[in-house]
Amino acid sequence: MALLTKTPWLLIFFILLGGLLGGLLGEILRVIAPQGPLQDIFARVQNIGLNPPFTIDLKLFTVTFGFMLRINLFSILGILLGIYIYKQA
């Protein structure tokens, strides 16, 4: 008997949590790793999103749309680990 009911929201939760924890670990290791190829691997970050944000000014109100994802090696590994944990639950 499963302890958790597998829902799409639970999958999204595991993906987000894995990505956040993996990204945090990658940033920490980027700072403490010595200069060299190891630090280059940790320092490599891919920015995906809208830069600058998209703004619509309708005179009555202004709407701004924007997002930025900073993906590194550990955030990808964290996402994959989150998916694996979801499938095992």
- Domain around 27: 9-88
Q: What's the whole-model pTM score?
A: 0.78
Q: Which residue has 């891919």 as its token pair?
A: 46
Any domain includes 4: no
Give the three-state DSSP class for 59: coil
Any domain includes 1: no
Give the model's pLDDT for residue 3: 62
Cα 21 from Cα 11, distance rounded (Å) = 15
Q: Which two tokens stand for residue 29?
A: 């290791």
Give the residue among 86, 77, 88 at the shortest CA–CA distance from 22.
Answer: 77
Any domain includes 3: no
- Is residue 12 within a helix (H) or strand (E), and if so which, with residue range? helix 8-32
Any domain includes 80: yes
Query: pLDDT tens digits, residue range 10-51?
Result: 999 999 999 999 999 988 888 888 888 877 877 788 899 988
Q: Which residue has the higher pLDDT, 36 or 2?
A: 36
**pLDDT classification of 1: cutoffs 50, 70, 90:** very low
Domain count, the chain: 1
